[in-house]
Amino acid sequence: MNQQKIGEFIAEIRKSKNMTQSDLAQKMSVSINAVSKWERGLSMPDVSLLKPLSEELGITINELLSGEKILDQDLIVKSDQTILNTIHYKDQEKRKVIIQLVVCTIAFIIFLLGLSIWNFFIRGAVDNYVSYNIKESNESIYISGNLLNDEKVFNKAHVEIENGVMHIIPYSSYESIFNKNNSFNINYSLKNINQIYFADELVWQDGKIISSIANDLFKNKNPYVGNMSANGRIANILSISTILGNYKNSLITSKQPYEWNFIFEENYTLEDSTFLDKKMNQYSILLLSLIDNLSVVTWTFSDGSNTYQKSIDIEEANEQIKILKGTELPDEVKEYSVSAYLINELLSMFHL
């Protein structure tokens, strides 16, 4: 079936009847663009239009599909040829559809592969959503863990070393067919290394592993005791209510010395109160260090009959630190909040 010939034939008959493309389009209830495509051989009229189009042009369907007028003596031959051409045209259309489906399928597969490759190579530095463990062995540091973001997987770790300080920057990417693993296990030599930062957290210094609690406390240190939400974050990191029980807060910030009073709601036996005093003494020293203008920490509790109140101030905290600290550590409690390393040392003093 010769679309070009059929199109030229449609245009010839239309013009012979003094019809414009617009006239024919209106009679066939199609757009002018559709008629233009027929006449240029770019498309064929829909099967449902063959009969009304033939009638409008004053020709037979056989002549329309042959692209020419058919004399009576040629009718049988042309009819047979038209049938064969129609069958051939349908076969061509089927092949076109199959080819289009194959091309679309291949394109989709290529798209998926490309997306996977893109996800594999396009990566970004890991944010805080990472859980890790640190071990030191044979003059090497071992870091293992996993990303907490379910949409991301571990890609690689970039290492920068300058003046004995190692920065390990973990990179993540979106999951792909090449990488579905969000866990990691990496190790590095400690030769000539004094400090190691992993994902912007100090994790090792001078032969000591820095705990995640020390890093969390360092990130949440508070300049003003009047900020109760910031105080609460520090208390939650230390798990004070989990270990010692529920309490209410009372602050004295109208005049110095600024004070934070823990009012415990439960009744404590003698044994429990001894444990409470020991732990609150430890926690209070940490709070005095981490809250810049806090001067006194007080805790109040009852045994059911009597109410007791204990406290510790900066001077008492300093005296305890001088007894417990190493020779190279600061004497003043407030000096320990300047780094995660010193906070870690303070935690170690009190076995927290």
Cβ-Cβ contacts under 8 Å for 48 (sequence gap 6 or more): none
Residues 6 or more apart whose CB falls under 8 angstroms from that of 214 comprise: 340, 341, 343, 344, 347
pLDDT at site 193: 94
What confidence score (pLDDT) does residue 77 get? 47
Pairing of strands 201-205, 195-198: antiparallel
- Could you give the 3-state DSSP secondary structure of residue 25? helix
What pLDDT score does 76 carry? 47
Instruction: Give the pLDDT score at 82.
Output: 55
Q: Check: CB of residue 176 under 8 Å from CB of residue 155.
A: no
Taking only Cα atoms into account, the Rg of the chain, rounded to an integer number of angstroms, comes to 42
The pLDDT value given to residue 227: 96
> What does the pLDDT profile of the chain (352 residues) look like in tens digits?
688 888 898 899 999 999 999 999 999 999 999 999 988 988 888 888 888 888 899 988 888 888 888 775 454 445 545 554 565 555 566 677 777 777 777 777 776 666 555 554 545 555 555 778 889 888 899 998 887 776 677 878 889 999 999 999 888 777 766 667 778 888 999 999 999 999 889 999 999 999 999 999 999 999 999 999 999 999 999 999 999 999 999 999 999 999 999 999 999 999 999 999 999 999 999 999 999 999 999 999 999 999 999 999 999 999 999 999 888 899 999 999 999 999 999 999 988 8
Please list, residue by residue across 93-113, b when 16 or more beta carbons sit within 10 angstroms of its beta carbon and e when fewer do: eeeeeeeeeeeeeeeeeeeee
Query: What sign results for the dihedral spanned by CA atoms 22, 23, 24, 26?
Result: positive
